[in-house]
Structures are given as C-alpha cells and as structure tokens.
Amino acid sequence: MTEEEKTSSEEETGVETPAATEEEKDWAGEARKFQDLYLRCAAETENMRRRFQKEREDISRFAGETIIRSVLPSLDNLGLALSYVREGAPGEALNLAEGVRLTLKGLMDVLTENGLRPVPAERGQTFDPNLHEAIGQQPETELPPGSISQEVQAGYALHERLIRPAKVLVATAAPEAE
C-alpha cells in the first residue's frame, strides 16, 4: 500500500492504521498490571474495613472509661469508710456499715459487668511495674525483696487496659539487728 492509498483509506474510514514500525501493545502485560492494581486496592479496602471495625469495637468497649475513672475515688472512699468500722461498734454503726457495704458491692457488680476488674496486689506477690506503682519501700523480714508488702490504693483495669495502677509498698531487706 502506497502512502497515498493509506492517506485516502484513513480519510474514508476515519481510522488511522498503525505504521508497520510502531510497536504493538502488550495487552496481556497491561491486563496483568491492572489486575495487580485491582487486587492491591481490594486488599487495602479490606484492611481499612477491618481497622475501622476494630476501632468501632474499641470505642464501644472503652466508652465509659472516663466515667469509671471519675467513680474510682468514690469506690476508695466507700472502702475506707468500711475499714473504720470495728467489731464492737454500736448497732447503729454496724447497720450503717452494712448499708455502705451493700452499696459498694452493688456499684462494683455494675462496674464488673461493664468490664472493670481489680488489679491483684496481694501481700507477697511479685511487684510488676506494668500493674503496680511503688510509692515507697518497707523493710520486711518475712517477704523477699521486690515483693509487695502492702497495698495502699487498689488498681483497676477496664477489659485489658490498665486505667489505674495499684499503689503499693515494696518489701526491702530488713536491716540486721546488731
């Protein structure tokens, strides 16, 4: 086909014919490239969907954390009020203490149902800086150094998240008597 025939053919059909020297498109390569791009986008979309789902779950699980944090001092105060009642106290004081105990129990039951749990800090337990806050040291002959001597303030976790560490005194070696 001569150059004039090509030009007249193009004018009639309106379609340009590729030149013999022009490279042919690698359609299979283009398809693989777009399929790879599609798969990457689909995977990223799925990852975002999972991440957003997890964030929504976390938001709903920890939505009450601020309120629970503000209630913790009241829990401490109710516990302190109970600790001051003695066995030989008058009947009225014992009745009042029983009411405070029931109120504290009811409040703790509701908070426990919503994921709050106390952080264990028992005497003799090994001190864990991830769960406990050392506020002092206490010489002990009965306990190994580095263990909890006394819990000063209870700690709490909401689900698996620590919201307040237990404040404790840590045992140290007692000075030897001379």
Can you list the domains of the chain with their CATH numbers? 117-178 (2.30.22.10)
User: In the predicted model, what is the mean pLDDT of residues 98-102?
Assistant: 93
| Cβ pair 143, 158 in contact under 8 A | no
Q: Count of alpha carbons within 13 Å of 94, Cβ hemisphere only?
A: 6
Confidence category of residue 22, pLDDT binned at 50, 70, 90 = very low
Identify whether the C-beta of residue 139 lies closer than 8 Å to the C-beta of residue 177: no
pLDDT tens readout for residues 103-129: 999 999 999 999 999 999 999 999 999
Percent of the chain with pLDDT over 70: 85
CB under 8 Å, gap of 24 or more: what pairs does 101-105 form? 103/78, 104/75, 104/78, 104/79
Interatomic CA distance for residues 143 and 116, integer angstroms: 30
- Mind listing the pLDDT tens digit for each residue in 56-92? 988 888 888 989 999 999 999 999 989 888 877 888 8
Question: Using 50, 70 and 90 to split pLDDT, how confident is the model at 4?
Answer: low
